[in-house]
Each structure stands twice: as C-alpha cells, then as structure tokens.
Structure 1
Amino acid sequence: MIQNLILQIIDFFYQPFAKIMPRQTFRYLACGGSNTALDIFLYFICYNFILHQQMVQLPFISISAHIAALFMSMAVTFPTGFLLSKFVVFSDSNLRGRIQLFRYFLLVGICVMLNYVLMKLFVDRLHLFPTVGKICTTVLVVIFSYLTQKKFTFKVKQTS
C-alpha cells in the first residue's frame, strides 16, 4: 500500500521528464533525493543541536562532531534508502532479498568510507563549512551509489 502510494506520487511528477530520462532514473532521483535531503537535514540537526559542534569522547577514541553526525544521520537513512531502492526504484530486480541487502550493506560500507575520506578532505584539508562539505560529498557519493546499485546491488539477472 505504501509502495503503491509512493509510486503513484513519483510517477505523477515523472510525465514532464518522460522524454529526457527513463522512469527508473527519475524514481532513483526522487527517492535518492528525498533520502539525501533527509540525510543532510539529520546531519545538520545532529551536528548543530545534538552534538553542539563538539568532539564526541568515547572510551578509547575521540570523534569530531562532523564525523559523528555523519554516522548518526546514516543510522536513519540506511534502512530508508534500502527499502526505497528495493521496493520503489529497482523493484524489477530478481535477486533474492538477502543478497540485495548484503550487497547494499557492502555498497553502504564503501560509501561510508568515501563519505569519511571526502569529509576529511573537504572539512579538514580544504576548510569548507561542514554542511557544505557534506553536500559536496553527497553529490559524489550519490553518483557512485546509483551506478553501483543499478549494475550490482539490484541488477536483473538474465534468465537463460
């Protein structure tokens, strides 16, 4: 029921874009864009209002606020991203759900590392504001993620 509602809403807005992009790409942009907006919003809230831009002191390590906020926002956007990808964007994939989840988990692990490296680059080395660094990081990671999801995580196996 929720899947159908989401598809109806997205597909309603797809019509003006039908001649310039495939429906699946539009769905990915809509779902990924919504999940990314949620991620950036949660990141901003975590960084500024929960962590108050302060280091997080754990027993054996200190984590900078911009990195801790990254992991906090991902705790929400990982499951929402998987569910939207599986049931809305790449619903034609014939891979088993557990294989999709495992591959998605691997992809997210790679994306976490990319996020970490790029955030360190943009914030610590290039001295961008953390939210601006997060936006730049997100653009690069989203492109990588879409290509990987389409060709690996939710691919359609050819039947013989």
Structure 2
Amino acid sequence: MRQFLVCAGKFIGEIIDIFYPPFSRYFSRQFFRYGVSGAANVGFDWLLYFIVYNYILQKQFVPLGFVTISPHIAALFVTFPITLFTGFLLQKYVTFTASDLRGREQLIRYIAVVGVNLLINYFGLKLLVELLHFYATPSKMVVTVICTIFSYFSQKTFTFKVKKSI
C-alpha cells in the first residue's frame, strides 16, 4: 500500500508540476504543490460539505438524544474525517515528500494541526452562521481560507519539517 501511495504521489506531483513553470518566478515548487493539492482537497471538502448539508442532512437538525446538532455543524463532523485523510495523504506524498520524520509522527502532528483547524472551523461557523446569520456554505468557505493560511505554516514548520543537516 505504501508503495502505491508513493507512486500515486509522484504521479500527482508530476501532473501538478506541468503547470508550475509560469509560476516558478513567484513560488517554490513545494508551495505550488501545496496550493494545488490543498485547493483540490478544499474543493473536495466544499463539494462534500454541500452534498451532506443539502442532500443527506437536508438542512435538518440532527437529534442525538442528549444533544441536537445544527445541520451546518453536523455536516462539518461528517465531512471532517474524510478530508482529514485525503489531506494528509496529499501533503505527505505530494507536497512535503522530503520530510525525514516518521509517518506515525507526521500523522500525529497532522492530526494536532487539523484539530486546531477543526476548532477554528467550529467557532468560525458558529460565529458566521448563528450570530451573524450568513449562509452556511459561503461561511464555510471564509473559514477555510483562514484555516489554510494557518495550516500551511504549521504543516511546513511542524508536521512535515525537515531536520537541517550541518
């Protein structure tokens, strides 16, 4: 399985690199790959969120017996584990391939950073949807931009860092 993921990551990276030359003056290859693979995962997240919120949950509150979850938060909790998994795989095998940290350590660190992003998502959606009465899907998009900025710097310097050789 690992070999398949490495090969798939190289293949995806090579496809992304086809579009890199016009941007090479402005971005490093790693940053470009982060942007493209991250944008693909975000697009997947938005599409999945839209489908879950509108068609699976049908914008209905979800009663769990002891608590009732609003539809925009329930959609977040349904889509979160899926995009956590796809995001980690893209970052590990496409973007930050030079990291010398063990995969397990990367995953733990990735989950920690994503956990912070989940909190940003939760409180951001609560603020925008429930307090400011914005629509759920555009609110999710705004919160995603904030999370993306935080995430890039965290993933580069913490999750997938490369030990400097002397």
TM-score by length of 2: 0.94
Q: Equivalents in 2 of 1:81, 1:95: separation in Å? A: 17
Q: Equivalents in 2 of 1:39, 1:10: separation in Å? A: 19
Q: Equivalents in 2 of 1:132, 1:3: separation in Å? A: 30
Q: Do structure 1's residue 38 and structure 2's residue 44 form an aligned pair? A: yes
Please, which runs of 5 or more residues in structure 1 have no aligned partner?
Answer: none
Structure 1 counterpart of 2:150: 144
- SS of equivalent residue, structure 2 residue 125: helix
Q: CA deviation at 1:59?
A: 2.3
Q: Equivalents in 1 of 2:71, 2:12: separation in Å? A: 34
Contact 2:121–2:144 at 8 Å: present in 1 too?
Answer: yes
Contact 2:10–2:93 at 8 Å: present in 1 too?
Answer: no
Which of 134, 139, 161 is equivalent to 1:133? 139
Alignment of 1:100-111 (within 5 A): 100-111=106-117
**2:159 is matched by which residue type in structure 1?**
T
Question: Where has structure 1 moved over 6 Å in runs of 4 or more?
Answer: none
Q: Equivalents in 1 of 2:23, 2:165: separation in Å? A: 31
**1:133 is matched by which residue type in structure 2?**
S
Q: CA deviation at 1:45?
A: 0.3
Which of 38, 55, 59 is equivalent to 1:53? 59
Which of 68, 71, 75 is equivalent to 1:65? 71
Q: CA deviation at 1:118?
A: 0.4
Q: CA deviation at 1:60?
A: 1.3
Contact 2:33–2:95 at 8 Å: present in 1 too?
Answer: yes
Structure 2 counterpart of 1:115: 121
RMSD in angstroms over aligned alpha carbons?
A: 0.8
Q: Equivalents in 1 of 2:105, 2:8: separation in Å? A: 23
- SS of equivalent residue, structure 1 residue 48: helix
Q: CA deviation at 1:4?
A: 2.0
Give aligned pairs, total. Answer: 160
Determine what percentage of the aligned residue pairs are the same residue. Answer: 49
